[in-house]
Amino acid sequence: MKNKQIKIFGKNIELDAIKQFEEAMKLECNVQGALMPDAHTGYTLPIGAIIKSKDYIFPSYVGYDIGCGMCAVKLDIDSNLVDLDKLKQTILNKIPLGSVKHNTPQKINIKLSNYSISDFTKYRIEDTGVYQIGTLGGGNHFIEIGKSEKDNKVWIVIHSGSRGLGYKVADYYMTLATQNSVNTEELEKEFIIGKEIFKEKNLEGYKKAFNKYVTTAWDKATKNKEGHYGFHIVSKIGQSYYCDMNFCLDFALENRKTMINIIKKAIEEQYGKEVSEEVFINRNHNHAELKEGFIIHRKGATHSEKDMLGVIPANMKDGSFIVKGKGSELSMNSSSHGAGRVLSRKQAKETLDVVDFHKSMEGIITNHTDSTIDESPKAYKDIFEVMELQKDLVEILDRSIPILNIKG
């Protein structure tokens, strides 16, 4: 890793996450790396990692939930005017949560002719995307209605991604990247030993047997497809992934906007008139961008150029920070995507106290239950310490203090 620029902004990051980061930085094409204060172990790369690559794009560095990110809208209405119990029921009635999807196809307000997407992704839009647009998903995805720390106005904050569409696209390309790493020339050198006469006398039979041999090698390789397998960015498959990934980023944005519109309309119906939007922010934290001849991969890290607005969520209790980027070259213009987990979901369920969890949520209307203890505030790092560790990366402009929180 000589002559490579590396910066770790976090403290006490778990050893497995550091090892994952170091393995990535061993690749010759990976020329710069950073770990955010919320970094923790993920698949292939730690969550909270940024990797700058020369010539190669890695689907596993973006991850399964392509375009997962945050939208935040500030409405010109005092939070005290919103009937939160009624709004909660509207959300639960109109926005599918967890693995639930719509029963009928929904309209996707994206013009497909503007994209050079693959046939695979087109099919996935038809069999998955149209049923999942406007759905939250599960895990740490959430809908937060907050009050501005500055003026008590309403913030709508949503954390969600490209849903099953993005997952299938990611899995498809991660499989292809793994298969692409299998050297068929080397395989044939192994396979042909002792089979020279077979090849000479029955070429078709030889080819069939060799193809089966290659397929077996592919199957074996794809058992570990979440590895450091990528595509050259100018290759046909590399360009195909990049185009499909960008579509998934826009699908994820449209997904979040669809939910925001449902919530905004419900608030307007309560208020009796239209409510204007003072601010709209969209920032995803699972993506790759081409910049100045390099590929910047952000996995669980937020794009944060100078003066770029962003959203950094904490947990169900502490809300979300509205920030402005400072444009740090050391972080490749990035910031954390949240507080970051300090306990895995399994650890949280095994060690945290349910009574304490419920007590911590007093004063906030939620849909949390005993079973969602893995999303307890105590499962996450201290957001205020995380924000302090990245004070050179972002400036805090406001904070959405949660008054209603819906977990997927």
Percent of the chain with pLDDT over 90: 82
Which pLDDT score, from 0 to 100, does residue 210 have?
83
Mean per-residue pLDDT for 354-372?
91
CA atoms within 13 A on the CB side of 404: 21
pLDDT band for position 233 (50/70/90)?
Answer: very high
- pLDDT (tens digit, 9 = 90+) per residue, 310-344? 999 999 999 999 999 999 999 999 999 999 988 98
300's CB contacts (< 8 A; 6+ apart) are 36, 38, 39, 42, 46, 47, 48, 49, 63, 285, 286, 337, 338
Tokens coding 386: 């995380």
pLDDT band for position 78 (50/70/90)?
Answer: very high
In this structure, which amino acid lies at residue 109?
A: N
Q: Is the pLDDT of residue 174 over 90?
A: yes
CA angle 316, 393, 138 (to 5 degrees): 30
pLDDT band for position 1 (50/70/90)?
Answer: low
How much is the mean pLDDT over the chain?
94
Q: Is the pLDDT of residue 225 over 80?
A: no
- pTM (two decimals): 0.92
Mean per-residue pLDDT for 88-116?
95
- If we measure between CA atoms, which residue out of 334, 287, 333 comes closest to residue 312? 334
pLDDT band for position 110 (50/70/90)?
Answer: very high
CA angle 78, 82, 86 (to 5 degrees): 170
Mean per-residue pLDDT for 143-161?
98
The full length of the chain comes to 408
